[in-house]
Amino acid sequence: MPVLPPPTTLVIGATTSHCGNCRQPTLPDDTHHNLVPGGRPSRGCGARFAAMAPADPQITNDDLRHIRPDLPIATDTTP
- Our CB check for Zn ion shows the closer of 3 and 58 to be 3
**Among residue numbers 5 through 24, which ones bind Zn ion (CB under 5 A)?**
19, 21-22
Q: Answer whether 34's CB lies under 8 Å from 44's CB.
A: yes
Q: Answer whether 47's CB lies under 8 Å from 22's CB.
A: yes
Q: Answer whether 55's CB lies under 8 Å from 12's CB.
A: yes
* C-alpha span between 54 and 43 (Å, rounded): 23
**Quick one: which of 32, 44, 68, 71 contacts Zn ion (CB under 5 A)?**
44
Minimum distance from residue 19 beta carbon to Zn ion (Å): 3
In this chain, which residue has its C-beta nearest to Zn ion?
19
Residues that bind Zn ion (CB under 5 A): 19, 21-22, 33, 44-45
